[in-house]
Amino acid sequence: MIEFDKLSLRLGDFYLQDVSIRINRGDYYFIIGPSGAGKTVILEAIAGLHLPDSGMITIDDRNVAALPPEKRRIALVYQDYSLFPHMSVEKNIGFGLRMQKCSKEEIHRRVSRLLEQFGIVHLKKRYPGTLSGGEQQRVAIARALASDPEILLLDEPFAALDPITREQIIMDLLRIHRKKNLTIVQVTHSREEIMRMANRCAVIIDGICVQEGPVESVFQNPGSTVVARFIGMDNVIPGVIIARSSGLTTINLGGKSITAVSDASPGDPVEIAFRAIDVTVELHNGFISSAQNRFIATITAVVPLGGPLTQVHMDAGFPILALVTTLSAEQLDFSPGMDVVASIKASAIKVIENEGVT
Amino acid sequence: MAQCSFLRDRCLLFFSLLGGLILGITILPLLNMTIQELSDIPHLLQVASDSKVIDSIILTMGAGANAIIILMIFGIPLAYVLARAEFMGKKFVETIVDIPLMLPHTVAGILVYILFMKRGLVGGPLYNIGFSFEDAYPGIVVAMLFVSSPYFINSAREGFEKVPLHLENVARTLGATRFSAFLHVTLPLSARHIYNGAIFSWGRAIGEFAAIIMIAYYPMVISTLLYYRFSTGGLKESSSIAFILILSCFTVFLILRYLSRFIGRYDDRV
């Protein structure tokens, strides 16, 4: 188990402030956040490449401040793979074993097994400069696993890969994670990878850990608007609670009322957040329904995303962004200036309280 | 193919013409001297077979190589620290490294002489145990070491800086100590810079005159011998020595440049 207790670290102009996270043994843990948020620094701190200015890192309840990287049994794979350019694939993979003074036979045996496992036997005499991105990534992961680490740190492992290679490496990693019960900590700024691979995650924004916990909980209940936006809730609107009854609250959004599930008390300033995909857009037939969360809105822009989906920007007294199928956008002939009805299910709306405290 | 596009590229052609003028400044006197020397081949052969000249050239190149070996032992660690560590007063240390570049060579000679003479801070105690720098081989080596050190240290440092820190970090997470990571990753990847730095500073050491004669007039390095023959025997004799020195240096450095292609080839492909 890796635990950060109020870890602060300064590197030049960059600050990591009071970061507390807990990674359990066997977790597939994701550190997520926008570029430049400090995710890689956290990995390097776990590996022992940076010493904290304050706070503590413990691994299996042991303070590791005095433990140099070479004694931690934590392997790190950088985004650029960082293969040793002057060593063949074989030598790269065997590097850790050579450093641990393993016998030649042992090195040969383990390197051969990894080459086979990753399907790169044919590359063993090649040098990194002649390999494709996907091949380099496989070599880098094989090299990291060669010395049988307890923790594997991956810095955006799929960032530079084509979709097919990416898929193969995801499968490889999931298999290794399951088989070896390895703890994997992976950095990404992609939301899709998290839903698929992680069981726990931390959201790091500007050097601060804004939320941490099981993936479902972070994605279902974003604790702040920054997290809400990051996990794909494109609609974030400020409002004030005006009424509450039987678990449902009514929120005033600049004159319009919206209903959501929340425990906030009347008078509380809140932010509401919901995904664009949870907004339904219908043609306005003149009839104004009294149903909850239905708003007459004017389309301000229609943006096809190039795939099956199209963004519809609307103004209902407050801005709403919807994601509809391109097919229905064409069939209903959505165009700017058109009046439509936008509706959002109450259960799809997250109410975020106490903004600024998280 | 490359030549064809070179000739069509007007910018490159224009730059080559400008650059050619600079080369001309070196080539013209060399050519001038070559023609003169080749007009009296018997005299040239006589000077070339003079054992004093041959010994002196061997001494100069040998002392230079000796200085570079010492420089590598102490300069590589310094260059690595400067490349990888941030500390208070780093700019100060960097400036000290560069000082021999800025000083007139006579000043370098005085500095070396004061420190290593028989009554000097370092030279004194060593003289007492029978080790002399004044008018002796070690004096030549320290003078060469002093004037050529910045070329080597700065080049090695540049080489270390070019090795991505990530490579060292990865090596360490794979179980290498910092020293092992340096030895197995950083050092081989900077081999070309270190090699080129060594050639540069060796060249600088061989060319030194002022700093050397101040501490060691004897044994005569080639520049001292040349100056001595110039003041006693005149231009004809000294220019033949100069010609022979130029020829030997050109040959040696051409070979060394050629060999550098085989060192650290892999880093081109990253």
Residue A356: pLDDT over 60: no
A279 token code pair: 């907004």
Closest CA to A49 of B163, B81, B174: B174
Residue B78: pLDDT over 50: yes
* A127 interfaces chain B, CB cutoff of 8 Å: yes
**Residue range B184-232, pLDDT digits in tens:** 999 999 999 999 999 999 999 999 999 999 999 999 999 999 999 999 9
Q: Find the closest chain B residue to A152 by CA distance.
A: B173
Q: Find the closest chain A residue to B180 by CA distance.
A: A99
Nearest-5° Cα angle at B64, B118 to B44: 110
Give the start-end residues of each E strand in A60-129. 62-63, 74-77
Nearest to A80 among B166, B176, B180 (CB): B166
DSSP string, B247-259: HHHHHHHHHHHHH
Interface of B with A in 170-189 (CB under 8 A): 170-178, 180, 184-185, 188-189
Q: What's the gap between Cα A24 and its chain centre?
A: 18
- Residue A293 is predicted with a pLDDT of 86
Tell me what ipTM this predicted complex has.
0.85
Please, are residues A106 and A97 in contact by the beta-carbon 8 Å criterion? yes
**Chain A residues in contact with B189 (beta carbon < 8 A):** 84-86
**Chain A residues in contact with B178 (beta carbon < 8 A):** 68
Does residue A355 or residue A94 have the better pLDDT? A94
* B264 interfaces chain A, CB cutoff of 8 Å: yes
A154 phi and psi, to 5 degrees?
-125, 120
* B166 interfaces chain A, CB cutoff of 8 Å: yes
Nearest to B172 among A69, A80, A153 (CB): A69
**Residue range B4-33, pLDDT digits in tens:** 567 788 899 999 999 999 999 999 999 999
Q: Which residue is associated with the tokens 């043609």?
A: A283
Interface of B with A in 221-240 (CB under 8 A): none
Chain B nearest C-alpha distance from A277 (Å):
40
Q: How many angstroms separate the CA atoms of A83 and A134, rounded?
A: 13
Q: Supply the pTM of this predicted model.
A: 0.84
B158 token code pair: 């540049």
Q: What is the mean pLDDT of residues A74-98?
A: 95
Residue B66: pLDDT over 60: yes
Contact A144 B174 (CB under 8 A): yes
Q: How many angstroms separate the CA atoms of A6 and A276, rounded?
A: 35
> How many CB pairs below 8 Å do chains A and B form together?
83
A136 token code pair: 């380099």
What DSSP element (H or E) covers A205?
strand A200-205
Q: Percent of chain B, pLDDT > 70?
A: 96
Q: What is the mean pLDDT of residues A338-354?
A: 88
Nearest to A99 among B180, B188, B189 (CB): B180
* A12 interfaces chain B, CB cutoff of 8 Å: no
Q: How many angstroms separate the CA atoms of A53 and B99, rounded?
A: 36
- Residue A317 is predicted with a pLDDT of 87
Q: How many angstroms separate the CA atoms of B270 and A230, rounded?
A: 35
Residue B239: pLDDT over 80: yes
Residue A184: pLDDT over 60: yes
* Burial A300-329, CB ≥16 within 10 A → b, else e: eebeeeeeebbbbbbebebebbbbbeeeeb
How buried is residue A338: exposed, middle or buried, by Cβ count under 10 Å (0-12/13-18/19+)? Answer: middle
Nearest-5° Cα angle at A83, A77 to A86: 160
Q: What is the DSSP letter of B185?
A: I
Q: What is the mean pLDDT of residues B181-186?
A: 96
